Amino acid sequence: MSAPPKSDIHVSIEIAVPPARLFEIFVGDIDRWWRRGPEYRFFPPWEGEIRFERNGTTRLVHRDGEDPARRHVIGEVTCWQPGERLSFTFRLPNFAADQETAVDIRFTPVGEGTRLELVHTGWDSLPPDHPALHGLAGHRLMMMKAQIWARNFESLKARAGDIIAND
């Protein structure tokens, strides 16, 4: 029996901002560029705040107010190299305690700007009937999840452009 095809998401974009500055915008302004809507936010009405919290460990968190029931730890940061690399585990609210995926983002200098390269792995570790897979697998799953990341990265590009224009 052969193994199921891997469902790793690969997304890249070039942004006309140097890597160190883009890293700052990525982590420090994430709530402003991370899109809103049911594909991107975890609590209806698809608002709340997404941010990196640094208290001994660094976590990516989505919270809507102070209610603990409306706080979701998206993931634990596993690599924090400003201007070079950011990696974190990634969990949707409907993941079981032992389920997670992983996001790895590279900030590569390209001329005066940056090539942002994301690889999101681990989707193939979820049971085939998991709701986060939307009944998809393989290439179809990769494309659907990649489109979500690509739209977020286009939003990051626009936000970074606005910030740089006003610096």
Instruction: Give the mean pLDDT of the chain.
Output: 93
Nearest CA to 4 out of 148, 136, 145 is that of 136
Give mean pLDDT, residues 125-134: 93
Residue 1 lies in a domain: no
Residue 111 lies in a domain: yes
Residues in the chain: 167
User: Is residue 3's pLDDT more than 80?
Assistant: no
What's the whole-model pTM score?
0.92
Strand partners, 121: 102
Residue 92 lies in a domain: yes
User: Is residue 39's pLDDT more than 60?
Assistant: yes
Alpha-carbon span 24 to 27, nearest angstrom: 6
Residue 4 lies in a domain: no
User: Is residue 2's pLDDT more than 50?
Assistant: no
Residue 2 lies in a domain: no
Q: Kindly state the tokens that stand for 79.
A: 């690599």
Q: What is the CATH number of the domain that holds 99?
A: 3.30.530.20
How many domains, the chain? 1
Residue 69's pLDDT band, with cuts at 50, 70 and 90, is confident
Q: Is the dihedral of CA 159, 50, 122, 147 positive or negative?
A: negative
Residue 3 lies in a domain: no
Nearest CA to 88 out of 133, 53, 127 is that of 53
Residue 46 lies in a domain: yes
Residue 100 lies in a domain: yes
Q: What is the pLDDT of residue 45?
A: 85
**Which has the higher per-residue pLDDT, 139 or 30?**
30
- Local structure of 85: helix, strand or coil: strand
Q: What is the pLDDT of residue 6?
A: 66
Name the residue range of residue 117's domain: 9-135+144-166
Give mean pLDDT, residues 122-148: 93
Alpha-carbon span 76 to 91, nearest angstrom: 9
Strand partners, 114: 15, 109
